[in-house]
Structure 1
Amino acid sequence: MSPASCRPAPPGDLHRKTAVAAGASELRGSAVSDYDMRPHRGFRAPHPRGGAPLLAPGAVRTLWERSPRYGREELSAQGSRRQPGDRTRHRGLSAPRWGQQAPRSRDDLVMHAGLCSAPVVSHAHQGTTSSALTRLSVNAARALGVPPQGYADLLGVAPEHLHDDLCRTPSGTSIRIAEMTTTRSPWTDLSVVLAQQSSIGTLGVWDYLITSAPTPLEGIRDASAYFASVADTGTETLRITEDGEHVTISHVNQADMAYEAVCAIRAYALGLYRRRLSEAAHRRLVPLHVTLAAKAPSRHDGLAELYGTRTIDFEAADSSITFLAADLSAPNPHAQPGLSTVLRRHAEQTLATAIPLHDWLALFRTALASAAHDEATPTLTSVARRLTLSARTLQRRLEEHGTTWSGEVETVRRAHITRLLHDTDLGIDAIAARSGYADARALRRAVQRWYGTTPGNLRRTGRLDSGAPALA
């Protein structure tokens, strides 16, 4: 946000919050000031590939709301003021549940931050992550000995996508790579390797939002506002809670703490935040406390070194790292006036010009095919896990896309069985077993329903259903 946007608060005890301009229609009827909605004309942001500069995006909507005190309100999960006795776990806005869409209600759109916090971006590209994050996952997998054949065919790993910073990779790709890695190495090792390979600039402009800000605290606020430039904000949230002398930075999702692939990502994220904040402060910051939504590993020496403390609580509700506010409020001696504004606009422009590599249904079908490759009968729960969704959310999204879980599974089975009949000499009993059918009779009934013929006739004619998706 430009310095001109950091205006004094209106009369009264007011609390400033920022919201995506795209949500304006849902904010009508509230006490909203519509100033600062014009693009900052005349400014040209650097081109993400170093070419000709690009016009800066438009400004964001800014709103003011009355607050009972200076600082911040406490909001419940529904966005209402927290009352004494409420059992809301966290202060500030609660994050979306694992797999939910980005919040769209008036209160869910607001973001707690300081008086001159960065705008919330309007190009989230949910369901995808940056190609930089995918490159990091691939490099960590390679370092931990995962054979590239296991992930080379995943969407977004092809060199033309992996090395193009404008490409947005399906979130399921990084999750799948993390799954393969944690089957070979402890999840704590993956966290440490990811952090070790995250030198400044690895994650592009997002890194410099933190290290170039006037203070580390302002930098992490910007990083939270532009979290979509690296992560999938449909399932991941970077939340900042300022509470007097302490600042707590939380990495929130709702995946089960027994899911080691996501535990590794949570632990890495906290280590990354500490590393970037230390780089911004130009000294090694030591947190007061670390919590991890993960089961306690047998050893966590690597995590203690990553965080600079052994004060780590496992099996916590959220993953968080807490610092002294004074450590994060000290001025950055190398900050350049106006640079943060340029970087914020560059982050927004990068998101605005990004190229998502899929639509959601294509991502689901890729995950389903991958699950079918690993298990004879993929389950709703296992596929939902690959997509980092709850089973209920997955069913709802399938309905929104005009299809059903059973219909999609049958389509994959049909493609798989047709290929086995055409390309192998396996008997009908063996094909039934590989395809999740109870016996050959059930398989024959299915083939008759699909094609109006028997498996034997289908094999002899070599008939393939061109409309069926390929199985990974």
Structure 2
Amino acid sequence: MALRYGVDPRAMSTLPGLDPETLDNDLIRVPNHTMWSICELITLTGIAEAGVAAGASIAPGALDSWGYLFATGDSLADGLRAAAHYSPAVTDPTAAFEVVEDGRLLTVRYRGIEAVPRLSFLHEWVMGMLLRRVQDATSTAATPIRVSFAHAAPRSHRYLTHAFATANIEFDAAASEITFIDPEAGTPPTPRDPELDRIVTRYTEMMMTSAKAPPDWHSTFLQVVSDALARDEVSLDAIANRLCMSTRTLQRRFEEQGTSWRDEVEAVRHEKTLRLLGETDLTVESVASRVGYADARTLRKAFLRWTGQTPDAYRRASRV
């Protein structure tokens, strides 16, 4: 969506968690600060309707199993409560979703995350997404009777009136929320299969408890260098390119951590050499080749500097 609204790809190239390996792994969560940064970048485009349009465009399945929870249970209220309960499967656990029932009125409240400014894009995205999910769950063109936003009013909110099909829109609220009239109690939102509901719920719970953060840039850097050593392709330009950042950005990150390109590559060679000597029977010549040294003599000299002993002495001691 950011690219669609004209955000420069270079502005996102250094954000962690956007590499194909992360995006293709259902159990790895894109870092929250990456998501907030993308929200800010889209906000800076000045396209007022971007948030609500992005939320409304999310088709079933785009949010994995979580999006299907809206259609589980014996009523729309049940589905909304299930989605609110399992919202940590798709967002930061501190972002509170709450379902409030008042007679036949159903309100979904979103308080967002305190550490994040009340970006209009983010809150309008969430309200637009909730509207789309309710419409998909009920198989109707359900329209809210009221929508509130935690952010300040824009110069014109005509696009919101059009998107939510209601003029009852408020701003500067304590929380962003959207209110519907609940269908008749006991009426499922759509024809449903209780066993499928159970499977979707259990899978969402598994996703929520199994999700993990992607490795940070430094961990990724160490792995990229380790892989490149065996191919003798270790250079600042090559590694920076693999990390989708400029050489200057990479060097700046080293400076921030009080280290340098040379020290970091040396550390990878050191760790990989210790592992190969301790876990394999490769000759010192072969180990030297795998860690990017021209010959065994160069490795022995470096190893003596690292440990104060020769590779052969270290191998014997590690296997006693």
Whether these two folds match at TM > 0.5 is: yes
Cross-structure match for 2:63:
203
Aligned residue in 2 for 1:331: 188
- Contact 2:42 / 2:121 at 8 angstroms: preserved in 1? no
Structure ranking higher on relative contact order (CA contacts 8 Å, 6+ apart): 2
Q: Distance in 1 between the 2:113 and 2:31 partners?
A: 19
SS at match of 2:30: strand
| Secondary structure in structure 1 of the residue aligned to 2:108 | strand
Give the distance between the partners of 2:50 and 2:215, measured in 1 at CA. 27
Question: Following TM superposition, by how much is the alpha carbon of 1:163 offset from its aligned partner in structure 2, in angstroms?
Answer: 2.1
Q: 1:46-57 counterparts in 2 under 5 A? A: none
Partner of 2:193: helix, strand, or coil? coil
1:218 corresponds to: 78
Report what 1:293 is aligned to.
150
The structure in which a higher percent of residues are helix is: 2
Could you state the TM-score of these two structures normalised by the residue count of structure 1? 0.44
* 2:107 counterpart residue number: 248
- Which of residues 179, 184, 199 in structure 2 aligns to 1:322? 179
Note the C-alpha offset of 1:254.
Answer: 5.5
CA–CA separation in structure 2 for the residues paired with 1:413 and 1:354: 29
SS at match of 1:356: coil
Partner of 1:242, secondary structure, is: strand
Name the CA distance, whole Å, in 2 between partners of 1:416 and 1:337: 53
Distance 1:159 1:358, change over 3 A: closer
Contact 1:215 1:280 in 2 (8 A): no
The SS at the match of 1:175 is helix
Q: Distance in 2 between matches of 1:413 and 1:338?
A: 52
> Aligned residue for 1:134?
none
Contact kept, 8 Å, 1:215 with 1:330, in 2: the verdict is: yes
TM-aligned CA distance change 1:179 to 1:316, over 3 Å: same
Match of 2:26 in 1: 165
Instruction: Please name the residue that 2:123 is paired with.
Output: 266
Q: Is the 8 A contact 1:293 1:316 kept in 2?
A: yes
Structure 1 unpaired stretches of 5+: 1-139, 363-410, 420-472
Q: SS of the counterpart of 1:290?
A: strand
Decide which of 219, 228, 239 is 2:88's aligned counterpart: 228
**Number of residue pairs matched by the alignment:** 227
Residue 238 of structure 1, aligned match among 82, 89, 97? 97
Greater mean deviation of Cα atoms: 174-183 or 210-219 = 210-219
CA shift, 1:237, in A, is: 0.9
What is aligned with 1:181?
A: 42
Shift of 1:413: 11
For 1:286 and 1:328, how far apart are their aligned partners in 2?
18
- Find the aligned partners of 2:128 and 2:57 in 1 and give their Cα distance: 12
Give the equivalent residue in structure 2 for 1:343.
200
Q: 1:333 to 1:172 in 2, by over 3 A?
A: closer
Report matched runs for 1:42-441 at 5 Å: 140-186=1-47, 188-234=48-94, 236-253=95-112, 255=114, 259=117, 262-326=119-183, 330-357=187-214, 415=256
CA contact (8 A) 2:81 2:99 kept: yes
Distance 1:320 1:333, change over 3 A: closer
In 1, distance between residues paired with 2:15 and 2:60?
Answer: 27
1:386-431, Cα deviation, whole Å (9 max, x unpaired): xxxxxxxxxxxxxxxxxxxxxxxxx989649998xxxxxxxxxxxx
Shift of 1:253: 2.7
Greater C-alpha radius of gyration: 2
Report the residue type matching 2:84 in the other structure: S
RMSD: 2.8
1:137-167 residue CA offsets vs partner (Å, 9 max, x unmatched): xxx1001000111112211101111222111
Q: Distance in 2 between matches of 1:149 and 1:327?
A: 50
Structure 1 stretches (4+) deviating beyond 3 angstroms? 254-257, 326-330, 411-419
Shift of 1:213: 3.7
Deviation readout 1:140-196 (Å, 9 max, x if unpaired): 10010001111122111011112221111110000011111111124x422133124
Distance 2:45 2:53 in 1: 14
Alpha carbons of structure 1 residues 413 and 291: separation in structure 2 relative to 1, 3 Å? same
Separation in structure 2 between the aligned mates of residue 256 and residue 353 of structure 1, nearest angstrom: 24
- The aligned counterpart of 1:135 is none
Q: 1:314 to 1:357 in 2, by over 3 A?
A: same
Q: Is the 8 A contact 1:214 1:336 kept in 2?
A: no
Structure 2: give runs of 5+ residues left out of the alignment.
Answer: 220-251, 261-320
CA deviation vs aligned residue, 1:207-258 (integer Å, no higher than 9, x gap)? 1111344322111111011101101012x1110111223121101135499x
**C-alpha contact (below 8 Å) 2:147/2:168 kept by paired residues:** yes
Aligned-partner Cα distance in 2 for 1:282–1:328:
17
The letter for the 1-side match of 2:58 is S
**Aligned partner letter, 2:30:** T
Q: Following the alignment from structure 1 to structure 2, what is the Cα–Cα distance between the partners of residues 345 and 192?
A: 30
Map Cα deviations across residues 38-94 of structure 1 (whole Å, 9 max, x no partner).
xxxxxxxxxxxxxxxxxxxxxxxxxxxxxxxxxxxxxxxxxxxxxxxxxxxxxxxxx
Do the aligned partners of 1:154 and 1:173 also contact (CA within 8 Å) in 2? yes
